[in-house]
């Protein structure tokens, strides 16, 4: 494992000249991105390409599944997780660069249905007037973990457990709701940010642990200046603007 690299301050100071010199960086950056953040990542990637000429290659999935791929030598250079623990684990286990981790977004959980009359706050869970409830796999997807925490906090978990339709990640979970395979589901606010139909309950943050989503530079990307530049861009004003427009809280 390489020694800690505190590159944000150094690179950040040089961003203007650095970002506009396409020849100074590699041609592409391979990014493993949590499923909930794939659409914002695409837009941020397009803006990054416009500013630098460098291309992002995005692979999305559940955070736990992506980390398993990283440990099995997948060619990712940057990891945008849906939690804080997994990027820190990547550092601790020698797969990521110490000093590179930061929170790029804070997720919001929503109970959503395409039926405009179904969701009416926490009472929807207590009354249970539905047959199928979609959640992401809590073993690998932080949004699934948060959904379980919410139901346990409300005392509805045991009554509803037999109705779960479980997605491998939050993207598949949303698809279950969108296609009608589940009448409602716990999804990310970012997935319905531009969706005006249906009914929804923005879950209070007090009912689950914060969904702080951290980014980290992986060891494979330690020598790729474009990977470092992308993390600075993500943390900068253009990246933050996209993050907030998709319904996330800002990072740090």
Q: Looking up tokens 């940010």, which residue turns up?
A: 193
Is the pLDDT confidence value at 6 over 60? no
Chain centroid, CA 93 distance in Å = 21
Let me know if domain 109-202 sits in CATH 3.40.190.10: yes
Chain centroid, CA 139 distance in Å = 15
Chain centroid, CA 163 distance in Å = 25
The predicted structure's pLDDT at residue 40: 95
* Alpha carbon distance 38, 72 (integer Å): 22
In sequence order, which ranges of 53-208 are alpha helices (DSSP H)? 63-71, 85-92, 123-127, 142-154, 157-160, 170-178
How do residues 114-146 score in pLDDT, each as one tens digit? 999 999 999 999 999 999 999 999 998 999 999
Residues 6+ away with beta carbon under 8 Å from 149: 207, 208, 209
The predicted structure's pLDDT at residue 26: 47
Is the pLDDT confidence value at 246 over 70? yes
Q: How many residues does the chain have?
A: 252
Q: Residues 126, 176, 40, 28: is their CA dihedral positive or negative?
A: positive
Spans of all domains in the chain:
7-106+212-250, 109-202
Q: What is the mean pLDDT of residues 34-62?
A: 95
* Alpha carbon distance 25, 41 (integer Å): 20
pLDDT band at 21 (very low <50, low <70, confident <90, very high): very low
pLDDT band at 90 (very low <50, low <70, confident <90, very high): very high
How many other CB atoms are there within 10 angstroms of residue 153's CB atom?
15
3-state secondary structure (DSSP) of residue 250: strand
* Alpha carbon distance 63, 87 (integer Å): 9
CATH topology identical between 7-106+212-250 and 109-202: yes
Is the pLDDT confidence value at 10 over 80? no
Whole-number average pLDDT of the chain:
90
Q: Which two structure tokens, joined as six digits, stand for 42?
A: 């695409």
Is the pLDDT confidence value at 218 over 90? yes
Is the pLDDT confidence value at 20 over 90? no
* Alpha carbon distance 107, 209 (integer Å): 11
Residue 56: strand pairing partners = 29
What architecture is domain 7-106+212-250? Answer: 3-Layer(aba) Sandwich (3.40)
């Amino acid at each position: 494992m390489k020694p800690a690299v505190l590159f944000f301050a150094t690179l950040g100071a040089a961003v203007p000249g650095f970002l506009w010199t396409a020849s100074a960086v590699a041609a592409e950056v391979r990014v493993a991105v949590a499923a909930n953040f794939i659409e914002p990542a695409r837009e941020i990637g397009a803006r990054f390409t416009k500013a630098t000429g460098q291309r992002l290659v995005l692979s999305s999935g559940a955070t736990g599944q992506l980390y398993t791929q990283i440990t099995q030598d997948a060619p990712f250079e940057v990891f945008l997780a849906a939690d804080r623990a997994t990027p820190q684990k990547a550092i601790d286990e020698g797969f990521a660069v110490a000093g590179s981790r930061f929170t790029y977004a804070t997720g919001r959980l929503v109970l959503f249905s395409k039926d405009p009359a179904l969701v009416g706050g926490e009472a929807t869970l207590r009354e249970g007037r539905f047959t199928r409830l979609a959640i992401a796999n809590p073993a690998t997807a932080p949004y699934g973990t948060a959904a379980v925490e919410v139901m346990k906090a409300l005392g509805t978990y045991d009554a509803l457990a037999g109705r779960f339709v479980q997605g491998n990640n939050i993207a598949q979970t949303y698809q279950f709701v969108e296609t009608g395979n589940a009448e409602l589901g716990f999804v990310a606010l970012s997935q319905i940010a531009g969706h005006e139909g249906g009914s929804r309950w923005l879950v209070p943050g007090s009912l689950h642990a914060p969904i702080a989503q951290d980014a980290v530079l992986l060891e494979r990307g330690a020598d790729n200046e474009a990977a470092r530049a992308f993390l600075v861009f993500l943390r900068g004003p253009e990246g933050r603007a996209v993050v907030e427009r998709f319904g996330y809280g800002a990072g740090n």
